[in-house]
Chain A
Amino acid sequence: MSWLTNFVRPKIRALVGGPKKEIPDNLWEKCPGCSTMLFKRELEENLNVCRACGYHMRLDVVRRLEILFDEGRYREISVPKVLVDPLKFRDQKKYIDRLKDAQNKTKRQDAIIVAEGTVGGQKVVAAAFDFAFMGGSMGMGVGEAIVTGARRAVATKSAFVVFPASGGARMQEGALSLMQMPRTIIAADEVKAAGLPYIVVLTDPTTGGVTASFAMVGDIHIAERGAQIGFAGARVIENTIRETLPPGFQRSEYLLDHGMVDIVTERKNLNETLTRVLRLLRKDKGGKNNFLLGPVPHGARSSKRI
């Protein structure tokens, strides 16, 4: 690789010419928000957020966990295996083959990782979706992971934080995937019944049966900036109402306006927000301005009167 392939933008590179085969096409990425060409290494350092316009691109699930947990350290929790392809589903391709492809591509059993560690010193069990695995779709394996994570949180008295990134239920598992909706809601309820925080961090995209189940029953809903969040797909809605959708429809900010999420945050501020919320919910006595616990310094009282 030469300086040319490393630092020159693809368009210019094409003008300069050079051996075509040697050009790796993954060094630069175009921002879907503002079309700026972004140097991939820089983009990754910036948590997949465009430095020009702040557009939040999707984040790889492992990276997600690395930036979530303190010092990037976490322990993955294994999820019991579930029945594979009970429907023997086949469209243009066999589901079992799609599943194997996704497993080979991601080196994961299913579209989710369950992990535990600390976030700002608070014990957390996290369940994060991998959108690269069949669109993060929820079948029995994902349902099992949510149940496993919830129970681990209860057993270790940890908060349970889920990061959905999903197109919805996995249709290749038919009504069995539909049944993961009540199933995951029961799991979330177990965490809440144990008096532990159940936090949902909605990331791009969260749609369909995932939104309409465990993702909408959190104690607190935090959405990453600009994430698509909704029930019905935009295309389906357009076909039903036969008109174009309003700008910003089904985005985090739209959900905030409509009362469905508590907080919309930039990715870089997510951990700080999460930590603050967890500390407050768990009555952690830390905090910078500890008025209640520390003695008030002489003369520090406000002279303001009502």
Chain B
Amino acid sequence: MIEIDGLSKNFGAERAVADVSLRLETGTITAVVGTSGSGKSTLMRMINRLIEPDAGTVRIDGVDTREIPLTELRRSIGYVIQDHGLFPHWSVARNIGAVPALLGWPREEIAARVEELMRLLRLDPERLGPRYPHELSGGQAQRVGVARALAARPRMMLMDEPFGALDPVIRQEARAELVAIQRALGATILIVTHDMAEAMALGDQIAVMDGGRLAQAGTPAEIVLRPATPLVRALIGESERGFRHLALLPVAAALTPGAAEGEALPAGATLADALSRMIWTGARRLPVAAADGHGAGVVALEDILAAGRGAP
């Protein structure tokens, strides 16, 4: 668990972060959202002390980060940035194995870890391992950046707009991949983004920054249903609010017994998927498949709309 407590930072007369407190539960993803200049990147960089706070503390599992030697702290936290920051004069394999090498792992162990991570991130170790970063595509370089951050099995990952340089299709894939990896490894992740849709798609918790202050922190549903300030409302996008909420809810949330005509929705679909299907087919009731493939029930339009409003 990461506890951020009263963190503040000024750059000269300019207030970058003002008295921010936030809790990151172990094994969850927290998405910090805000416009540029909102202090979200500064907040992230104070966790691994790339920027030293003027006031406040960060505790990792109860230990104040100021009590941990700087290099040791940073080596224990994975770090991914938009420009991936891969070392251009090192091969892909050496880039990925950089932190384990700093930690003095035996050579065979590093090689095994690098290969394991490359396979996890769908990078061919034989083909891409000896290459240099400038020989990679944008998506590959981004995955190498993630692999490098994961190499020393960090308890925590900091990511600043990690998918910002990717095209939309690859970005979707990379997000899904990140969630899958996070669920598999149980890492605690803080991801900084200016994109509320990305925050909604990734975050267990969303923290909205505004002018250096924390405007609101909560689950995606809380943020959508009860935006605390006009800025939060604006970031969600008033016209998309209802859809954003429905996209967070599984079809199970509005499931009723019964049967209906048409192709069944998969069990993992969201209510936004169901509503979209209704818009295009004109149906007001859709069958839903259970995980085993048999009919589990139906979703009705009125139930979807009620769920979207947050009504019980």
Partners in one complex: no
Binding site for A on B (CB under 8 A): none
Binding site for B on A (CB under 8 A): none
